A and B are shown apart, each in its own frame.
Chain A
């Protein structure tokens, strides 16, 4: 009673403390030691260019380039006025510098062909800019047709574009007539329809989830723009958004998995223990233990990372295990002992012996990650390792106290699974012992095969593969990666001065896997004299009043409709006269669409008619304003130098301390690991100190594999030492370890064969399974030595049943992790489940076979003596 009272009070306090102190840290970058040389490169780089860290990329995609740019510009306006959680918004296209000098960044040929194109459309632009309505547009087109009697000017493109826009309008498409396309004469590429903005969250130390408030704010601004109405999609990605989404999916995954494993474990226990009360008591004990462990995490570490969040599932799986051993033994003893108190005490004492060793070995499995350089897993190790001891105390102190409250399960005879079994079942159970040689030889062969299979094992160091592939940020990010030139995964080199930067860039540019290299110098346009001369000509050709001519008064609905009809008549006359003209086909198409548009408008009641005309005006002319003002800004280009670049832009290329950044973009899609490896290797051969996320991922992958191998070695040594110290007969150490090593080999092989790659999250599973498997084997050996079953079939004992039950509780706990949307967690669950099943196989088949060999050997020796 006292124990329970104290436990309940402490738990309440611990819960309060945890809720107020435990945070989840999404910053996976800091989990490796800073002494590694590549980490130092990264730190030097981040110190010089802090803005390269953890920003959010806003990806704006429109059906036309115009609409994408318009939405991005409006979003930029919103974000730069009246937001609280923003450090900065980076959108150089809207800066005065790039609006005015953008043309200088085109090459001369492109500039020349653009001038030619603009000369073609100048009459249109000039007309329409004074009358930005259907009336203006169609009056102009009509005149163009009438004046072009000889058919010299090919209006085909213009007709086709307008026809397509009207068709889209009639079909309800949100696409506007693209004036960018009309002016440039170039059909837009997907990249033209995409605009990127970059946003940096203001660092808020008092917030539990930094960036959340900002994304809320951004989403609010986006919603206000109603992008869907104009066919624009706006998505958030970049490291900042990825880690937020990851946090969301990982904590959701952990919660779901905790609940799932709790239910799964309860179900397995209910089947195994056949007693609601035992299950209930176990559940209470589990919850208490979980609270204590979480409180420890809050106290010792302050925060959970994305991997250590999984501690709860680990705890439930393993904690339930311990409870099962106690409960089964208690059940078994309650049958023979008169008082249930005595049964409880005896069961607790008996179980304590093997549980203590088990706890020690499992905890070693967890603690083995602590000395390695992979802090993310080390923390999971600390929490879960301590959790094991919490579990031990809960199982040996609180659980018996709970069980003593109530008379146990009314005696219902032997456990159903332990009742005398039919002959064939017993025969089956005896197989491993009776045919031990055959079993051992075949498992040896299996082990050798597994060793070969393991050679194909791969480590997937791409952190995107760990994330929910359906998350918005992940999908947008993969699209960006796919198009190498906008790939957010690039490499960077620091150069001490501009000359050095240029010379490194020149060497890197020659590499076949490098799509492009940029330095500050690349933002000072070349051949400025020639280009400015071309722009002078362009300005001269376009005339002075591109965007500031006096506007005509707005037309009435009737005027608009009449203009449409008048143009239709002109177009029909033109078509009748020039059936062979090169633009006859698009003209015919336009005629058809105009007839449909007029029919559509005529069929509407007056109010709706006005609205439809308004909507058609927006479709055809909605993108004109921004384009005209962009064009007239672009005609202000002047000679520019580095010093003219906007400050926020320059700071990305030269640091305050005078270091120059050389940015290297990949040619291939780096989502492919092999491509990432090739890119990094090639670049580092030229620039050994190149840094950036691809280097970070590759190097941390290597560091983690190393950490894993170290951990595994530590675990093996430490567990062997513990076994040597605790087991009386030294041969038992071999009996325990052989099935385990075999199980580890089989697990690794199964993962390789099933094409589940090792990754940052699931790599911890192997040492863990090893640590937990030790438990099973110790229990079996312990039982075999201390209380061998009467029929000599070790599988037909409460211990074997407990091993089986605990394996199934674990599988049901970790199996629910496998259902997590977070890929990393899911794969951790998969690998753990596979590991537990192979361990089960080895401890229930290989171990009995070994035991029988040892037994035979012992009895032969005894006979000889």
Chain B
């Protein structure tokens, strides 16, 4: 019996060690792991924190792990070229704000959820895909694929694909059509409206 326990312990240790090594050689995982951990924390403490509290807690992490200037550029496509530097700055800030607000408003209760790491693959342009599954005890699991890109010494998230639906694609489809129909100011106004709506909920 002891022998068996020992064997299990050894196995566990080896597994943990490998996990640790894997984390060391997998810097791609870091931003996603950090975001996921923060999201779980925020959910667990959702009631006490309230929207404002969740927003405050998420803001530094979201700002750190996402590469919003790259995201803004991808979202607007050719329209990006038409913006002035100050407009670009304003859009990046607004997108950052919107992301934090979205997380703060949607991850608002804990029901035993947890993220399971599935693996890392390399992708085009030096990027990597880091795959997770969000396990929901009372519901269907949700696949979360983070696409991370090297930014200086670190890796940062440039897109999230949830259950196959690409966040960039959704944003691009919506934002470019607003840009084309109504222009940049209207886009900013609509984003502000969305953020305000999240805050109200």
Contact = CB atoms under 8 A, between A and B. Distances in A.
Partners in one complex: yes
Interface of A: 109, 112, 115-116, 118-120, 122-123, 126-127, 129-130, 152-154, 535-537, 539-545, 549, 635
A120 B173 contact: yes
Contacts of A118: 169
B28 interface: no
Interface string B108-140: 000000000000010111010100000000000
Nearest to A638: B124
A120 B168 CA distance: 10
A556 to B, nearest CB: 20
Contact of B174 (A152, A535, A540): A152
A544 B123 contact: yes
Contacts of B125: 536, 539-540
A123 B165 contact: yes
A112 B173 contact: no
A541 B169 CA distance: 5
A544 B121 contact: yes
A536 B124 contact: yes
B77 interface: yes
Contacts of B165: 122-123, 126-127
Contacts of A535: 124
B173 A119 contact: yes
A539 B123 contact: yes
Contact size range, B = 20 to 34
A543 B166 contact: yes
A542 B124 contact: no
A318 to B, nearest CB: 76
Contacts of B77: 112, 115-116, 537
B21 interface: no
B164 A540 contact: no
A116 B164 contact: no
Contacts of A543: 145, 147, 159, 161, 164, 166, 169
Contact of A540 (B74, B78, B121, B173): B74
B153 interface: no
Given A539-B124, A540-B127, A544-B121, A126 B173 contact: no
Contacts of A130: 164
Contact of B147 (A109, A540, A549): A540
Contacts of B159: 540-541, 543
B5 interface: no
Interface in B69-94: 74, 77-78
Contact of A126 (B74, B164, B176): B164
Given A126-B165, A537-B77, A541-B159, 11 more contacts: A112-B77, A119-B166, A119-B170, A126-B161, A126-B166, A129-B164, A536-B125, A540-B124, A542-B169, A544-B129, A544-B145
A145 to B, nearest CB: 15
A305 to B, nearest CB: 58
A126 B166 CA distance: 9
A635 B145 contact: no
B173 to A, nearest CB: 4
Nearest to A128: B164
19 contacts: A112-B77, A116-B176, A119-B172, A120-B169, A120-B173, A122-B170, A123-B164, A123-B169, A126-B165, A153-B173, A153-B174, A154-B177, A537-B74, A540-B123, A540-B158, A541-B159, A541-B166, A543-B169, A545-B161
A212 to B, nearest CB: 49
Interface residues of A: mostly helix, strand, loop or mixed? helix
Contacts of B145: 543-545
Nearest to A115: B77
B8 to A, nearest CB: 32
Contacts of B176: 116, 119
A470 B125 CA distance: 54
A134 B97 CA distance: 39
Contacts of B78: 109, 112
A544 B147 contact: yes
Contacts of B177: 152-154
Contacts of B123: 539-540, 544
A543 B145 CA distance: 8
B124 A635 contact: yes
Residue of A118, A119, A123, A542 most packed against chain B (CB within 10 A): A119
A119 to B, nearest CB: 4
Given A116-B77, A543-B159, A127 B164 contact: yes
A549 B168 contact: no
B131 to A, nearest CB: 8
Contacts of B127: 540
A542 B166 contact: yes
Contact of A549 (B74, B164, B169): B164
B199 to A, nearest CB: 18
Nearest to A143: B165
Contact of B168 (A119, A126, A544, A635): A119
Contacts of B161: 126, 543-545
A296 B121 CA distance: 77
A207 to B, nearest CB: 51
A540 B168 contact: yes
A433 B19 CA distance: 122
Contact of B74 (A127, A129, A541): A541
